[in-house]
Amino acid sequence: MLAPRPLLLALAAALMAMSPDPAQAEYPDRPVTAIVPFAPGGPAEIIGRILSTFMPQTLGQSVIIENRGGAAGNIGMGQAARAKPDGYTLLMTSTAISVNTALFNNLPYDPIKDFAPISELVNAPNVLVVRPDSGIATIAELVTRVKSQPNTFSYGSPGAGTKSHLTGEQLKLRAGIDMVHVPFRGAGPAAQAVLAGQIQVASVALAAAEPLVKSGDLRALAVTGAQRWFSLPDVPTMIESGYPGFVSDTFNALFAPAGTPHDIIAVLLTASQAAMNRPEAADAARKAGFQIVASGPAQLARRVAAEIDGVKELVARAGTKPEN
């Protein structure tokens, strides 16, 4: 004898309630897009390409890197913040997500409220470089020279508002010196300007200057990480150079739009950590001038918050006016 129709409907409903949500249970069932909010060829894209090479082996789907550059990364980050929080649109960005809060008045995103942190994938210090024939071999000698020759020193960076620029401003404040900032369109041109004698000093991401340092064309005075860098073991840190707590590095990290389900974040965390911890990924990152971090969401959230506070304080002390 057949069960009454209402009973059958009730049983069906109960079974559906016990079954996992198909949308989440099958995640991911199509390729995932990671927005890089900068022009092609930059550090964030390099790390994104490494991630997209190895992450599919655990994720089970392709990871597509999509460059959406402009406005110091703000355009792409704003687009990622407004994406559907379903795990299929992610943000692969740099320290700019924290730094820009102090440099722009009207951001199209809130770095804390609009994003779910997944993992800080890599980081790298900046480096301060001079010409070998400058007669300057240490940070102390640089400071002495600048003080003895006022209004004559200028330093280059990859651009206004970059962590490299802020490193230079931090040195000026900590050492009590004055150097004119000259922004360039990238770390490479800034390093080349020192080589050509157009400026005396450059503060740049280590990857751009390292080949010139190793070839002897430039001299590295100090790196700005907490420890000496693995590929330049003879170059001291700023801390060793007499500036306690002077750490200014750049991270590249993976985020999802706020509201992305926790189980999807867990899948993405597992896949991204597995990808970055592969020996091939670590080797590629090191060749690009980075070290693997592969942290979790809580660590990344703390890092973003700390960077926001630190940069706002530095920008206020330096008297830098935010852009509208």
pLDDT (tens digit, 9 = 90+) per residue, 195-216?
999 999 999 988 888 889 999 9
Give the pLDDT band of residue 323 (cuts 50, 70, 90). low
pTM of the prediction? 0.83
Q: Classify the C-alpha dihedral 264-266-269-275 as positive or negative.
A: negative
Q: Which is nearest to 47 in space by CA: 266, 255, 288, 265?
A: 288
- 141-198 pLDDT, tens digit each: 999 999 999 889 999 998 888 888 999 999 999 999 999 999 987 888 899 999 999 9
pLDDT surpassing 90 at residue 120: yes
Assess contact for 275 and 281: CB atoms under 8 A: yes
Residue 218 tokens, joined: 């430039």
pLDDT at 31: 97
Cα dist from 179 to 9, 199, 202, 300, 312, whole Å: 77, 10, 11, 33, 21
For 18, other C-beta atoms within 10 Å of its C-beta total 7
Which residues, 6 or more positions from 228, have their beta carbon under 8 angstroms from its beta carbon? Answer: 235, 236, 237, 240
| Cα atoms found within 13 Å of the Cα of residue 135, Cβ hemisphere only | 4
Q: Which is nearest to 276 in space by CA: 37, 42, 57?
A: 57
Instruction: Indicate the pairing of strand 32-36 with strand 63-67.
Output: parallel
pLDDT surpassing 90 at residue 25: no
Quick check: bond before 28 cis, omega within 30? yes
pLDDT at 35: 97
Give the three-state DSSP class for 323: strand
Q: Phi first, then psi: what are they for 190, rounded to 5°?
A: -65, -45
pLDDT surpassing 90 at residue 304: yes
- 260-290 pLDDT, tens digit each: 999 999 999 999 999 999 999 999 999 888 9
- 212-263 pLDDT, tens digit each: 999 999 999 999 999 999 889 999 999 999 999 999 998 999 999 999 999 9
Instruction: Indicate the pairing of strand 32-36 with strand 89-94.
Output: parallel
pLDDT surpassing 60 at residue 2: no
Q: Could you give the domains of the chain?
A: 31-123+250-318 (3.40.190.150), 125-223 (3.40.190.10)
- 79-117 pLDDT, tens digit each: 999 999 999 999 999 999 999 998 888 899 999 999 999
Residue 112 tokens, joined: 């804390």
